[in-house]
Amino acid sequence: MQVNGLKSRLAAGDTALVATLQLARSGDSARVFARAGYDALVLDAEHNLIGPDAMGEILLAALDAGIAPLVRLPDAAPGPIGQALSAGALGVVIPRVETADLAEAVARAAAFAPRGRRPLPPVFPHFRRVPTAQAEAVASLAAETLVVVIIETRQAVANAAAIAAVEGVDVLFLGASDLSADLGRPGAKDDPALWDAAAAVAAACRAAGKVPGMGGIVEDAHFARARALGMRWISAAHDATLLQAAATERAKRLRAL
């Protein structure tokens, strides 16, 4: 039983346009981004305090709408990883992964036994209450679940090849904002050192057959540069910044009439 197919599309060389939710608390947000043409939705539980009821509603709405839902967690603790995946997420996004050992721990937390320690809940919400044999559910979700690790420090960049080689890690996502701060130039998105790091992460992914990604950029020139490096997990939208930009543009335009 295929749940979404995003992982297989990435394996085939496709690009994922990813939207991040920080303000949203309604399942309609998932439907909006699905209709707009995005491939994946990341519920940001690192930078805000989204409650479990709202998170559950958005996860299920995303599954129904055909957009892959992932949860970005505050750290690599295994309990919340298993909880998010049991609640309906098709993947997790883990910040500050700086070593292969930590990447391995994340991959184990997101994998079913015997490879990992992902729990088996009585019912998987991913199948919309359709009766599904446990063996079939495990096989399907094992094929669909994505593990995204965020590369956002100099140490992580130095270890990118080792991290990319870890079995069960699917995407190395370079976080340009935090990495630029770690490089001593917060917000300097044109810094050559930042783009050298991006090139190194992309090369590590190519060598290991993994997907490179990038976020924390907003300018078209930066997106084009990321795509030229081969980045295929593109953090393309954020609900708060989209709302602010659209509201500001509309107010300016109407006041100018």
- pLDDT tens string, the chain, 257 residues long: the values are 668 899 999 999 999 999 999 999 999 999 999 999 999 999 999 999 899 999 999 999 999 999 999 999 999 999 999 999 999 999 999 999 999 999 999 999 999 999 999 999 998 999 988 889 999 999 999 999 999 999 999 999 999 999 999 999 999 999 999 999 999 999 999 999 999 999 999 999 999 999 999 999 999 999 999 999 999 999 999 999 999 999 999 999 999 99
Query: CA–CA separation, 137 vs 47, rounded Å?
Result: 31
- Look up residue 9 and give its amino acid: R
Query: CA–CA separation, 204 vs 125, rounded Å?
Result: 35
- Look up residue 96 and give its amino acid: R
Q: HSE of 185 in the Cβ direction (CA atoms, 13 Å)?
A: 10
Catalytic annotation, residues: 47
Cβ atoms within 10 A of the Cβ of 86, count? 18
| CA distances, 30 to each of 22, 186, 207, 245 (Å) | 12, 31, 34, 19
Look at residue 1 in the predicted model and tell me its pLDDT: 60
User: pTM for this structure?
Assistant: 0.95
Query: CA–CA separation, 35 vs 39, rounded Å?
Result: 10
- Look up residue 232 and give its amino acid: R
Quick one: tokens of 223? 């997106």
Beta bridge partners of 16: 233
Architecture per CATH, 6-255: Alpha-Beta Barrel (3.20)
